[in-house]
Structure 1
Amino acid sequence: MSGMKDEVVYPEGADPQLINDDIAPLKEQKWGAYNIFAFWMSDVHSVGGYTTAGALFAMGLTSWQVLLALLVGIFIVYFACNLVSLPSQRSGTPFAVVCRAAFGIQGAKIPALIRGCIAVAWYGIQTYLASHALVILMVKLQPDWAEWADKDLHGFLGLSVLGYIAFAILWVVQALVFWRGMESIRKFIDFCGPAVYIVMAVLAIYLISEAGWDNVNLNLSDHRLTGFAVFSTFCAAVATTVSYFSGPMLNFGDISRYGKSQ
C-alpha cells in the first residue's frame, strides 16, 4: 500500500526475503476504540450481511429467536476475535506474520495464500451483491436502461451489460480507497460506519410511515417450527452467524495490529 514505508520498522538484520512494507511491524499504533467500532459497523452492514440475516428468518425462526441467535453468534465471534487479535496487537504485525509462529516461515505461506483466495472470492461476492443495488438505482433514475439490466436480452455469463458496468464501477471505487493505504481506509470507515446506521434509521422510519404499523410483521417465515426442530434450527442459525464472520474473525489481526491497546 502507498505510504507504508514511513509507517513501519525494519528490524536490524531482517531477511529482505521475509519482510516488506505490508508486513513489517508498525512504528505507531493509532487506532482507538471508535476506529474498531466503526470498522465493525461498516463490516456488518453490507448486502451479504442483510442476506445472511434474512436467511435466518427463512429457516422458520421467529423474530426474537433470530435476535437471540444473532447475539449468541456475535458473542462467540467477539470472544474469538479478542483471542486472534492479541499477537498482532502486541507485535504490530498482520495475520500472515503471526502464522509463522505456528506454521513456520515457509509453512505460513499456505494459510496466507488460502486466506488470500478466500478474500478475493469474498471481495467479488460483496461487490457483485452491491452491484445489484446499484443497477436498481440506475434503472430507477433512468427507466430507459431497464432492457440493459435484463441478462436475457443483453447479457452473458449470467450478468447483464448494466450489471457488468455497475460491478466495474464499484470495483474501481473500492480499489481507489484501498490503494491509498490503511489511513485512508480508517478515515473512510470512520465516516461510513455511523453514516450507514443513520441512513438505515431514516429508511426504517420512512418505510414504516408509508406502510403503517399494522402492516409490519416481524415473523417473516412462511412456516413455524415446534419442539426439537426449534432448538436444532436455532443452533444452525448461530453457526451461520459465526461462519459469516469467519473471514474477518480469522484475519482480525490485520485490523488489531493498528490498535493502541488490547
Structure 2
Amino acid sequence: MADTTVQQMPEKSVLFNADLAPTAEGKATWRSWDLFCLWMTSAHSLGSYTFAIGMLALGLTGWQTMLALFAGVLGLWLGSNLIGAAGQKVGVPFPVFARATFGIFGSNIPALFRGLVAVFWYGIQTYLASLAVIALIVRIWPGMASWTHGGFLGQSPLGWITFMALWTAQLLVLSYGMEIVRKVSDFAGPVVWIGMIALAIWMLDQAHWSIDWNARIGNVLSTPATIAAFVAVAFLMIAYMAGPLVNYSDFARFAPSKKAIKRGNALGIPLNETAFVVLSIVISLCALKVFGDGTMDPVALVSKVDSDVVVVIAAALFAIATVGINVVLNFVSPSYDISNVAPKYISFRTGGIITAVLSILVLPWKVWGSEVAIVYFLGGVGSLMGPVFGILIVDYYMLRRQRTKISDLYTVDPSGTYHFRRGFNPAAIVALLVSGSVAAVVALVPESQNITALSWPVGALLGAVLMLVLSRFIGADQGFTHSTTDVPVASEASVV
C-alpha cells in the first residue's frame, strides 16, 4: 500500500487536477523498454548530433572527444538514477515534486524556468525538423525550390507550410495524453538508428573504411588545455541534457518499480548514448576526410547521396527523430509546468496548447540563427537547471530522507508540511537565486567555452550546499525545515 494520506487528498484544492495527481494504480505503464526508448529519443536528433560533433571544435582529437563525452554520459546516468528513483517513489510530475522543496507556490519558479527553456527548444526543434522536410520536398520536386525564397517574419512560404504542418501534427499527438507520448517515444527512438547506421556505412565507404582517430577540427592543444577541454566536454554533455534530467520525474512517475527505472536508464544512457556518440564522431571524422568539413549535419551529408530514394527515406527518418524528441522532452515538461500555475483551470492539454502557441510567438528560427540569443538567453536561463537539480537532490535525499507527505503537496492549508512561508520555502528560493546567478555568470563568460562549461557543476554544487546550510539555519531559528512527521511512501509505485 502507498501512503494512506493520498486517499484523503483534497480533489477540490486549487492545487489539484487529474493530470497533476499521483500516478493511479494500473497507470504505471512505462516499463524498462519504454524508458530505454525515452532516452534513445532524447539522444537521436539533429540537435544532439550537432552537439556531439561540435565538441570536436574545442580542440580534442576524435578519441579524446569520445572519452570526454562518455565521462559526461556517466554523470548523466548517475543523476537520472537519483531523480528517477525519487520521481517513481513519489509518483508525481516535476512541478508537484518540486512543491515539497520550494513550497506549494514556490515550485512555480523552477517549473516556469524549465518550461520557458522547453518552449524555446520546442520551437527550435520543430524548425530543425521542418528543414529536413524542406530538403525532402525540394529533392522530390525541384520546382518547389522557388518557395524557399521570400516570405515574412524570417520564414519562406515553404518554411511556414512545413513548420506549421509539423506543429499541428505534434499538437495532435499531445492531445491524446501521456500514453500516446510513450508510444511515440517507443517508435521514434529506435527508428532513427536505421538512418544513422545507414549514413555511417555510406560515409565509411566514401572514406574507404579508414578514418584518423587523432584528427581534430580545432587547434592542437597543450596538455593543460587538453585536460581543461576534456572536463569542459564532459560537463557540457550533462548540461545539454540538464532540462530533461530535472523533469525526469514526469516520466519516471509512470514506472512500476525502481528496478525498471535503473534498468531503463542503464540501457538508455551508458549503452545507447555512448553508441550514438561513437557513431556521430565516426560520421564527423569521415566527413572531415571526404569533404574537408567535419561539422556538416546529417541532412547536408545525405543531400550528397545520388539516390533520391535514399535522400527521401533519410530525411523522413531525421524529421521523425526530431519530432520524437520534441514531443517527449520539449512538450511534456512545459505542459505540466504551465498547468501547475493554475491547476483548476489549466489541464495538461491546455498547457500543451499554450506551449504550442508560445513556440510560434518566440520565432524560433530567429533564435536559432542568433548566437546572442542562444548564448545569452538560453544559455543563461538553462544554467539554472544545475542549481535546481542540486537543490532537489539535497532536499529529497539529505533533508527529507526520501520521506514525502503526498497529500500535503496539494493543500493550501497553512498547517501543511510544504506551506513554509505563504507557500514559499525561503531556503530553497534563496539557494536558487544565489546559485542560479553565479551559474548564469559562469555560463556567460565571453569567449571562454571551458569556463562556460562549468556552469552546470558550479550551479548544482553551490545550490546543494546553500540548500543544506540555509535549511538548517533557517529551520533552527524560524521552523521552516520539513516536518519530521512526513510519511514515507511504503510501496515502490505511488498510487491513489
How far apart, CA to CA, are the structure 2 residues paired with 1:140 and 1:120?
31
Contact in 1 for aligned 2:37/2:185 (Cα 8 Å): yes
Residue 18 of structure 1, aligned match among 1, 8, 15: 15
Read off the aligned partner of 1:212 and give its amino acid letter.
Answer: H
1:175 is aligned with what amino acid?
L
**Deviations 1:102-160 (CA, angstroms, capped at 9, x unpaired):** 1111111222222221111111111122221211111111111112223xxx1333322
Q: How does 1:80-229 map to 2 (within 5 A)?
A: 80-150=79-149, 154-214=150-210, 216-218=211-213, 219-229=215-225
Pairwise CA distance, 1:44: 0.4
Matched residue type, 1:17 = V
For residues 209 and 250 of structure 1, what CA distance do their matches in structure 2 show? 40
Corresponding position of 1:247: 243
Give 1:239 shift.
2.0
Paired letter, 1:170? L
C-alpha contact 1:30 1:259 (8 A) present in aligned 2: yes
3-state SS in 2 of match to 1:155: coil
The answer for the alignment partner of 2:48 in structure 1 is: 49
CA distance in structure 1 between the aligned counterparts of 2:83 and 2:13, rounded to whole angstroms: 27
- 1:6: which partner in 2? none
Shift of 1:87: 2.7
SS in 2 for 1:30: coil
Q: Which of 1 and 2 has higher RCO (CA within 8 Å, sep 6+)?
A: 1
Q: Deviation per CA, 1:179-217, whole angstroms, max 9, x where unpaired?
A: 111111111211221111122112222333345325x45
* 1:61 Cα offset (Å): 1.3
- Shift, 1:17, TM fit: 0.7
Gapped regions of structure 2 (runs ≥ 5): 1-5, 259-496
What SS is found at the alignment partner of 2:173?
Answer: helix
2:34–2:186 CA contact under 8 A, matched in 1 = yes
**Is the 8 Å Cα contact of residues 41 and 193 (structure 1) preserved in structure 2?**
yes
1:10–1:25 CA contact under 8 A, matched in 2? no
Distance 1:12 1:100 in 2: 15
CA distance in 2, matches of 1:232, 1:163: 40
**Mean alpha-carbon deviation: is it higher for 129-138 or for 250-259?**
129-138
> What is the alpha-carbon distance in structure 2 between the residues aligned to residue 89 and residue 141 of structure 1?
47
Code of the aligned partner of 1:236: A
Q: Deviations over 1:1-51 (max 9, x none)?
A: xxxxxxxx8754344311112110111312111110010001101111011
SS of the equivalent of 1:123 reads helix
Other-structure match for 1:5: none
Going from structure 1 to structure 2, the CA distance change for 1:15 and 1:179 (only over 3 Å counts) comes to: same
CA RMSD of aligned residues (A): 1.9
Inter-CA distance 136–196: structure 2 relative to 1 (3 Å threshold): same
Q: List, as ranges, runs of 4+ consecutive aligned residues in structure 1 with deviation greater than 3 Å.
A: 9-15
Provide the rounded CA distance (Å) in 2 between the counterparts of 1:97 and 1:12: 13
2:176 and 2:219 map into 1 onto residues whose CA distance is 48
CA distance in 2 between counterparts of 1:144 and 1:212 reads: 35
Judged with a 3 Å threshold, the aligned counterparts in structure 2 of structure 1 residues 176 and 200 are, in CA distance, closer, same or farther, namely: same
Query: What is the CA–CA distance in structure 2 between the aligned matches of 1:211 and 1:142, rounded to whole Å?
Result: 30
Please give the per-residue CA displacement for 1:203-253, whole angstroms capped at 9, x wherever unaligned: 222333345325x45535153223211111112211221111011001101
